[in-house]
Amino acid sequence: MSHVAAIRGLVQLLMLVPLLSFADDSLSVAVASNFHGTVTEIATGFTRATQIPVNLSSGSTGKLYAQIVNGAPYDIFLAADVARPKLLEAGGLAVSGSRVTYAVGALVLWSADVALSGEDCHEALMSGNYRRLAMANPKTAPYGLAARTFLQSVDAMEATSDRVVLGENISQTLHFVATGNATLGFVALSQLRSGLPVETACQWPVPASSHAALDQQGVILSRSAKPAAAHEFMAFLRGVEAAAILERSGYTVP
């Protein structure tokens, strides 16, 4: 290799150093789909206060849990339930004592179908005045499980079974309704608060008493290479600035 080529290679390597450092300093957070928009705003405030960048990866709680069990290199897991964080803690994959309830969600029956404008979403569901009903997969998404529990509580499982379309997560469920592929859908209140691509035709808050509480818990993962920064983020998530964002986004702050 010529002297000039060697110098050029060294310069290119040095140019990469800041990028590599930035990547090393970033916190990697796995977040349930319903919380993605809210945590994006919270992460922006955290980075502004600490200069620590945050990389977010969203998906259904069940799928993210499976990724973590199979070795995905996340630092923090913000689930939409209690069960998966508990399992990670019990299995030694989460830092003992780091598990906290960071928010409590709410389930809403929602429609963008103009035929239901000004109508009662709940009445449309119970009367069968709809083509398709969207909900997240109950096996992987806590909001989908809550929706199924509600349907069971009002003896509507049999009547809806042949018209249900399952979203991989709550984001896909919202998409089904927004695009008209479903007349009605069970979505998160936080999604409706974050701004919608279409006008709301009707919405109905599903009684919290009709399903298990949507307590959303987070944990610091044992394989995190940045435990100090992860603790900082979890503390920020439970602070005053984050609480204001949570409430504005439709969550109850524990």
Residues 99 and 220 in one domain: yes
Q: Look at residue 22 in the predicted model and tell me its pLDDT.
A: 38
pLDDT tens profile 212-226: 999 999 999 999 999
Q: Look at residue 21 in the predicted model and tell me its pLDDT.
A: 36
User: What single DSSP character describes residue 205?
Assistant: E
47 part of a folded domain: yes
Give the residue ranges of the chain where pLDDT is below 50. 1, 4-7, 9-23
Residues 84 and 118 in one domain: no
Supply the range of the domain harboring residue 174.
107-210
HSE value, Cβ hemisphere, 13 Å, CA-based, for 199: 7
Task: Supply the CATH number for residue 193's domain.
Answer: 3.40.190.10
**How many domains is the chain built from?**
2
Element (DSSP H or E) covering residue 159: helix 157-160
The identity of residue 228, as a single letter, is A
Residues 158 and 84 in one domain: no
What values do phi and psi take at 228, rounded to 5? Answer: -65, -45
253 part of a folded domain: no
Closest CA to 231 of 65, 58, 97, 49: 97
7 part of a folded domain: yes
Residues 94 and 117 in one domain: no
Residues 56 and 137 in one domain: no
23 part of a folded domain: yes
36 part of a folded domain: yes
Helix then strand count (H, E) for the chain reads 11, 10
Residues 98 and 117 in one domain: no
Q: How many other β-carbons are positioned within 10 Å of the β-carbon of residue 8? A: 12
Residues 79 and 119 in one domain: no
Q: Look at residue 195 in the predicted model and tell me its pLDDT.
A: 84
Residues 115 and 178 in one domain: yes
